[in-house]
Chains A and B, each alone.
Chain A
Amino acid sequence: MKQTILARIFEDRENKHPVALVTRIDDGVQALVYKDQPVFGELSLSSGEQSRVKNMLHSGRSGKLPESGDAVFVRSYVPPYRLVIVGAVHIAQKLAPIAKEVGYQVTVVDPRRAFATQERFHGVDLICDWPDEVLEKLQLDSQTAVVTLTHDPKIDDPAIIESLKSNAFYIGCLGSTRTHAKRIERLSEAGFADSLQRICAPVGLDLGGRSPAEVAVATLAQIIQSRYAR
């Protein structure tokens, strides 16, 4: 691999452009293939090969290029899955770093200045604002998980509504069965009765733990389970 290729991969990822590194195994000659940018590098690819690479890139798959006779390898580098945590609370402080470790890009949202401090969330994207506005801007998609942790309907409900309107693959909400029953009532009245089964509540797999860190592990485990169950 040439360092120019590596530098370009880093640049692409800064800009959140999915990129496929294509290698001819025999001699190591390489090229980078994009969804809608010209090919970069020395390896020349037919238009048929390019479109097969783009197919793999689109679904984030890596492996031998089909119909290449095992001669060409494709490594797709795609943007990470995202986790949006609403509520800069104690559980969020435990959840953010472990989710990051598992490979999620983590954003914590809380309108309350006392909670949303960099000191409490070192090295995590932190947004001190109302979640409905923030979540709309974040453009939640099928590679995004949302967890609400504030217990406060004024903050949680708008975030849940924004999530239900999106294709977020996971929506988890902290709160007891009773809290959730009341939440179901409110959201039904707001017109979301049909999609409320998407909400995981009480949040997390039932591992039996109660401490903030244990709830964080149970929640992340449930997010991982949802991601691969699809």
Chain B
Amino acid sequence: MDDSLIKYDSGTGLPDELLTLKQWLAEGRKVALATVVQTWGSSPRSTGSHLVIDDQTNFVGSVSGGCIEGAVVSEALEVIDQGQPKLLEFGVSNEEAWEVGLTCGGAIQIYVEPVV
């Protein structure tokens, strides 16, 4: 991931990820936006945090401390492909989450939508 793609603009107050999203769209990439919609217990990223993903698995931002980004990116590829949004849930009671390692003991709901 080339750092130069990450633009900072505190002047607008928008998360850096949205600025990258705009740039990727301008480049003609297919893009999905993931957003934390709810958290339970200890979760590293707060509600509203964004992860932006393109169809080449490039991503910026975060929805956890790095534990579940891999899983969200692969779900995002499907969202981009099918053009339909998806609600994902990760938690300690969720076996898949255990595999991808949400070790903080919290649970998290993430909404992934295509940007069209």
Contacts and interface: CB of A to CB of B under 8 A. Distances in A.
B111 A73 contact: yes
Nearest to B112: A28
B8 interface: yes
Question: What secondary structure prevails in chain A residues at the interface with B?
Answer: mixed
Given A1-B113, A23-B111, A28-B113, A101 B8 contact: yes
A188 B115 CA distance: 57
Interface in B93-116: 111, 113-116
A161 B54 CA distance: 50
A100 B13 CA distance: 10
A3 B113 contact: no
Contacts, number: 71
A43 interface: no
A100 B33 CA distance: 24
Contacts of B87: 25
A77 B50 CA distance: 12
Contacts of A1: 33, 113-116
Interface string B10-41: 11111000100110010000000101011000
Contact of B37 (A25, A80, A101, A106): A25
A80 B13 CA distance: 5
A73 B33 CA distance: 14
Interface size bucket, A side?
Answer: 20 to 34
Contacts of A122: none
A104 interface: yes
Contact of B115 (A6, A23, A103, A106): A6
A27 B85 contact: yes
Interface string A76-120: 111110000000000000000001110111100000000000000
Contacts of A63: 37-38, 47-48
Interface stretch (A9-17, A128-136, A200-208, A217-225): A9-17
A25 B85 CA distance: 8
B113 A64 contact: no
Interface of B: 8, 10-14, 18, 21-22, 25, 33, 35, 37-38, 46-48, 84-85, 87, 111, 113-116
11 contacts: A1-B33, A1-B115, A1-B116, A13-B14, A62-B46, A63-B37, A63-B47, A75-B35, A100-B10, A103-B10, A105-B11
Given A1-B115, A3-B115, A9-B14, 15 more contacts: A1-B113, A1-B114, A2-B116, A6-B18, A10-B12, A13-B13, A14-B12, A25-B85, A25-B87, A28-B84, A73-B111, A75-B35, A75-B48, A100-B10, A101-B10
